[in-house]
Amino acid sequence: MADKLQWGILGTGAIATTFAKALLHSRTGSLAAVASRSPQTAAAFGTEFLHTGAICRCGSYEELLAKPEVQAVYIATPHPTHARLAIAAARAGKHILCEKPLAMNAHEAQAIVAAAQQHKVFLMEAFMYRCHPVVHRLVQLLQQKVIGEVRAIQANFGFQSGGNYHSRLLNRGLGGGGILDVGCYTMSLARLVAGTAAGEPFANPTAVHASGYVGPSGVDEWTFADVQFNGGIAAALGCGVSCEINNHVHIFGSEGRIEIPWLWIPQPTGNRIILHRRNEKPREEVIKAPADVYTLEADIVAAAVSAGGQQAAAPAMSWADTLGNMLALDQWRACLGVTYAADEVPLCG
């Protein structure tokens, strides 16, 4: 591709490294710049896989956003910085792929969407699993009603992070907690399934109830939610950053059920969909991605930008899908009384 989308990465952590490596194999994009809060960290980024001097290494996020060669940014910084950086990127005329969650709450998410709309830039929340062909296949199976009418959804995502209360995962000031880090996946999946069952790209809950454990740092360490949707669809969602959980998805229907182990994490040998239909032997499909899922994600952004679009097509996250998910996460947190500074001091500007 002669005119590849020129990316800048804000942040230099593990997920930034993963995305930068994925861009090496992208048909549609290449890495032009990376930024950190310090010149030293930026200078050290990617030395193991990028040729020194091949990209511009910026000692501040503002420096990167001011570079005219950068057309799109990938925001890979801690959760509480997403809103400020995304709005600044929109004002700088940069297209935006922002790591999940897009913001700390629905109010911030709405402000980001408004900025993208005003400045006519592309914006997508980076739920990479939504870009994997296994999700496309799941939607297809549900549309074909291979398990009849969807009745219930069970989705879990959790792990034991090690109990370090200074780490991002358990630090309230850094947006820690299971709901924002991994519960967002389970909620987005339940909304996708319930929406598909109703012939829509997604559905928003009619009720959210939850219980769980809020640790000494004030964030949810593990929690389980009961979520209701129109049509009588019920969802049981579990997440945690201090709890080993079975990271599977189960969808139960009137004529069978679908099981997907490890939907959230692309597997090197392909992701499995196991179909159990009433009075039939289980059938298994293995869905392989044609490229790294982060490469696919970058290509989805580039395709939309090339076509002049500001949003991605489903099942990737649209603005309305993201806003509905953020509101549902706000409701989940409210059940446990988990709050952040962003809830107490609304975003300005």
- Specify whether 232 is located in the same domain as 96: no
Instruction: Please indicate, yes or no, if residue 86 is contained in any of the structural domains.
Output: yes
- Specify whether 153 is located in the same domain as 268: yes
Q: What is the DSSP letter of 188?
A: H
Centroid of chain to Cα 203? 17
Cα–Cα distance for residue pair 321/124, rounded to 1 Å: 10
Q: What is the pLDDT of residue 3?
A: 87
| CATH classification at residue 17 | 3.40.50.720
* Torsion from C-alpha of 33, 38, 44, 49, nearest 10 degrees: -30
pLDDT(107) > 60: yes
For residues 100 and 321, is the Cβ–Cβ distance under 8 A?
no
Domain that holds residue 209: 133-288
Tell me the per-residue pLDDT of 115-139, one tens digit each, with 9 for 90 and over.
Answer: 999 999 999 999 999 999 999 999 9
Question: Residue 130: enclosing H or E segment and its boundaries?
Answer: none
* DSSP calls for 194-224: HHHHTTSS----SEEEEEEEE-TTSSEEEEE
Q: What is the DSSP letter of 242?
A: B
Both tokens of residue 309? 């679009």
Q: What is the DSSP letter of 263?
A: T
Cα–Cα distance for residue pair 123/102, rounded to 1 Å: 10
Cα–Cα distance for residue pair 348/335, rounded to 1 Å: 26
- Which of 41, 44, 46, 57 minimizes the C-alpha distance to 23? 46
- Specify whether 246 is located in the same domain as 274: yes
- Specify whether 58 is located in the same domain as 167: no
What is the tally of structural domains in the chain?
Answer: 2
pLDDT(1) > 50: no
Instruction: Please indicate, yes or no, if residue 345 is contained in any of the structural domains.
Output: no
- Specify whether 167 is located in the same domain as 66: no
- Specify whether 158 is located in the same domain as 277: yes
Instruction: Please indicate, yes or no, if residue 338 is contained in any of the structural domains.
Output: no
Cα–Cα distance for residue pair 326/100, rounded to 1 Å: 10
Question: pTM, whole model, 2 decimals?
Answer: 0.96
Mean pLDDT of the chain: 95
| CATH classification at residue 212 | 3.30.360.10
- Give the pLDDT band of residue 346 (cuts 50, 70, 90): low
- Specify whether 149 is located in the same domain as 201: yes
Cα–Cα distance for residue pair 143/241, rounded to 1 Å: 33
In degrees and rounded to multiples of 5, residue 319 shows phi and psi of -65, -45
- Specify whether 148 is located in the same domain as 258: yes
- Specify whether 164 is located in the same domain as 78: no
pLDDT(12) > 70: yes
